[in-house]
Amino acid sequence: MVNDIKKILFDEKILSQSIKKLGKKISEDYKDKNLLMISILKGSIVFMSDLMRSITTHCIIDFMCASSYDGGCKTKGVIKIVKDLDISVCNHDLLIVEDILDSGLTLQSIMNLLKNRNPKSIKICTLLDKPTKRQVDIIPDYRCLEVPDEFIVGYGFDYQERYRNLPFIGVLKQSVYENSAS
């Protein structure tokens, strides 16, 4: 598995340091609020589990899974909720925890959907930001690290569902895509 990685962008130490710093900031900002952290499945689970443990104020968590309607082509921006929240968002200050803000289409749809349910407030927290790929006007309230326009895997990020379990974030070798059947 590790042999499929061209280069490591962020190792475990950098990830841990930047997430702890972010957790401290969120703890201060939400100390008098009613924080509900919403992890967007599946990519954000590793980030979520580290981030929530670096938050020192009370919070509750829930999960949501959205998928593209158009069978893999993400550019249409129409999403289907595969798994909805269990907890009602009323009276909560929502923090959407996402793996990466790329085109922004997924997050925009999720934001619109959740805003309609009248939470107290709603903000976005993303581990990575790929600003060069943005198609909609969406700016994260919190972000850890910026990435160049390369396909990354590890620390929750997948290629065909694999590599999520790598403890670092790296760039996949091109030969892996080329040799892949689909």
Catalytic residue numbers?
A: 102
Residue 72 has which token pair? 């893999």
The footprint of ligand IMP on residues 64-103 (CB under 6 A) is 74, 98-103
Q: Where are the beta strands (DSSP E) in the chain?
A: 5-10, 35-41, 59-68, 79-83, 93-101, 121-129, 142-146, 152-153, 169-172
Q: For residues 69 and 151, which CB has a smaller minimum distance to ligand IMP in the complex? A: 151
Q: Residue 88: which of 143, 36, 158, 39 has the closest Cα?
A: 36
Task: Please tell me the count of residues contacting Mg ion according to CB under 5 A.
Answer: 2
Question: Is residue 154 close enough to count as binding Mg ion by CB under 5 A?
Answer: no
> For ligand IMP, which is the closer residue by CB, 30 or 128?
128
Nearer Cβ to ligand IMP, position 101 or 111? 101
Q: How far is the CB of 167 from ligand IMP (least distance, A)?
A: 16
